[in-house]
A = this chain, B = another copy of it.
């Protein structure tokens, strides 16, 4: 049985967190620390962007050196520490060293993440002070402060947790995430942090994270941009006494997917300038890849996103995107549905149903179903948001 619980990233036993202000961001909390009381199995997925940020390189190296074991994750917002060369690498390493000192663990057991402006030097003194302060206020109540400290243009903190009750005992999975712009993760979300107090060996943990990632963090887009810092971490410290064996693995993955999907959809819902969460389902495709590629193209189409923002069921734009997506597409058998209304099927235009579609588009949650008409049985879902003038304002003035 799965139940949603409060407590976010520290809902699972044996985790403590803190969110403090170190002064890298103009205002607000900007440094988060997550510590497991005991060494935890650790898994991660990282950005596929070739301009990889320093914290990603350092975290990847630490995971290799530790053999998938971690005690702490340290995160700053306001500066991505990307495109910062050797100096940036030194700062990322030092963040880990300072954290290892306060937590009293090997440096390779510390994972590092940064988010914010690219091409800006990260002030080590500020971050080191912040780590010191955070380590003194670590507790199980500061999960929301931690979720707040990792935000950039996010409107609010995003966190969730669930409890799983099984025959062999109960355990929890918690998580927090940030991201509102530069969001089209191709391996992870902008920054995602998941914890569980189940015991999971590192290999199985990695396998679970990769499986879940594909249809959660990798199935969302705000603006088609893949960041230099995308990272999702998953820590499992075993504090619940429940071990994820072959029998429990499917249940664990399913619950982990629930947590990751909830967080992924929160990223879209809170996308820069977003007023609507749009679910794009592409069916009737020749392969999963073609279905996903089409759903992705629709989810990134400025014409589709602006039409939905305007409440206009302009289905012709959906067909035009499908036609340019580079996939098998049969116009004569294609079908477009907006909410409850099928607007185009069998080459027949149903203008009389547009009012029903327009009513659906006035809501905060929008669903679009497009059948590629190839007779294939594959399908994929992407979540995206609408495109508003607010997006332009946020990004035209981001650094000013």
Query: Which A positions have Cβ atoms within 8 angstroms of B?
Result: 48-52, 80, 82-86, 117-121, 181-182, 186, 223-228, 300-303, 306-307, 309-312, 314-317, 319-324, 329, 331-332, 334, 343-344, 347-349, 387-389, 391-400
Contact = CB atoms under 8 A, between A and B. Distances in A.
B392 A320 contact: no
Contacts of A395: 302-303, 306-307, 310
17 contacts: A50-B324, A50-B329, A83-B319, A83-B331, A118-B317, A118-B320, A182-B303, A223-B302, A224-B300, A225-B317, A228-B316, A228-B320, A302-B391, A310-B400, A314-B398, A389-B393, A392-B392
A373 B226 CA distance: 20
B182 A50 contact: no
Contacts of A310: 395-398, 400
Given A320-B118, A324-B48, A329-B50, A307 B85 contact: no
Contact of A349 (B121, B223, B316, B393): B121
Which residue, A50, A82, A322, A387, has most C-beta atoms of chain B within 10 A?
A50
Given A314-B398, A397-B310, A398-B312, A119 B226 contact: no
Given A344-B83, A400-B312, A323 B392 contact: no
Contacts of A181: 303
Tally of this chain's copies: 2
A223 B85 CA distance: 33
B331 A50 contact: yes
Contacts of A225: 301-303, 317, 320-321, 324
Contact of A49 (B86, B120, B323): B323
Which residue, A49, A86, A181, A316, has most C-beta atoms of chain B within 10 A?
A316
Given A84-B349, A86-B347, A51 B329 contact: yes
Which 6 residue pairs of A and B lie closest in terms of their CB atoms, listed nearest first?
A118-B316, A310-B396, A51-B323, A85-B347, A306-B395, A389-B389
Nearest to A301: B225
Given A82-B319, A181-B303, A306-B395, 16 more contacts: A50-B324, A50-B329, A51-B334, A83-B316, A85-B348, A118-B317, A119-B343, A224-B300, A225-B302, A225-B317, A302-B395, A307-B398, A309-B392, A310-B396, A312-B400, A389-B389
